[in-house]
Chain A
Amino acid sequence: MIDQDFIEALKKGKRHAYEELIDRFQDMVFNKCLSFVPNKEDAEDIAQEIFIEVFRSIKHFKGQAKLTTWIYRITTNKCLEFIRKKNTKKRFAFFQLVLGTQHPVDKVSYFTEFNHPGVQLEQKEQSEHLFKAINQLPENQKVVFTLHKIDGLSYKEVSEITQKSISSVESLMFRAKKNLQLQLEQYYKNES
């Protein structure tokens, strides 16, 4: 339970409060980053950015949502921002490829190198396919699927983070599953 005094100490910029905040949340933030960006180094960089954002905007935190939910929201936004930037770079790299530069095609198919420390070696290939398929989903479906299925949050928690109603979360989840199945089916059909 996070008390008001702790939030006040954060707002005043107390160093001990920040140390406590990092101790409490660093594993959670790092794991959530990995759920969106399955690369250890990238996830660490994003985690760092998230805590700096928390530091910058804690004065605007009004306590309407739980601190955990608020940090989750920042985490989701920062991860999506990172993916968008990387995808734009990859698209640019693709054009470079079309225009005759030297990048091989497989390096432009996904926004990051798959390196998730929580994935066992025997599951690596399947997980890699899954993460690639998730990345192809529309952003709102991607967020809902990642938060619910990978991070294991309830629909209620997902609705609080995404600020959507539970019924729209359910509907997005249904469409995400359907789209994922279609994409994987297409992938495995092409493969065989």
Chain B
Amino acid sequence: MKEDHIKNKIENTINSIEFIEEVQASPFLKNKILNSINQEQESQHTVSSWLTPKLQLAALAIFVAINIAVFLKISEQQYSTEVDSFAAAYELTPESEETLFE
């Protein structure tokens, strides 16, 4: 008896789907959406208006030029001199090594 009652309840609950009606969206929804889309468009526009492809290309060219210049300027010799002076400053050279057993 109790089992049947529960079965009925389950069936009715699942069948309650059939009674769900289609509803209409609020008349203000369209305006809300259009406003959000306008804001989105404006934010895209403000970025794209000053960051033109020409400017992007120029920025890229400057970046590459600076990198090439720095690469050519720093020779390998200079690099090893800098490494040596760094090692000397921090007493990392083999001469400056001390052990407790000496």
Contacts and interface: CB of A to CB of B under 8 A. Distances in A.
Interface of A: 13, 15, 18-19, 22-23, 26-27, 29-31, 34, 44, 47-48, 51-52, 55-56, 116-120, 123, 126-127, 129-130, 133, 149-150, 177, 180-181, 184-185, 188-189, 192
Nearest to A150: B17
Interface of A is mostly: helix
Nearest to A134: B17
A172 to B, nearest CB: 16
Interface string B22-64: 1111100110111011001100000000000000000000000
A106 to B, nearest CB: 19
B75 interface: no
A184 B10 contact: yes
B8 to A, nearest CB: 10
Interface residues of B, number: 27
Of the candidates A129, A133, A150, the one having the most CB atoms from chain B within 10 angstroms of its own CB is A129
A59 B22 CA distance: 31
A133 B17 CA distance: 13
28 contacts: A13-B41, A15-B34, A19-B34, A22-B30, A22-B33, A22-B34, A27-B24, A30-B23, A30-B29, A31-B22, A31-B23, A48-B33, A55-B41, A116-B20, A117-B23, A118-B21, A118-B22, A120-B21, A126-B13, A126-B16, A127-B17, A130-B13, A133-B13, A150-B17, A180-B14, A181-B10, A184-B14, A185-B6
Contacts of A55: 37, 40-41
Interface of B: 2, 5-6, 9-10, 12-14, 16-17, 19-26, 29-30, 32-34, 36-37, 40-41
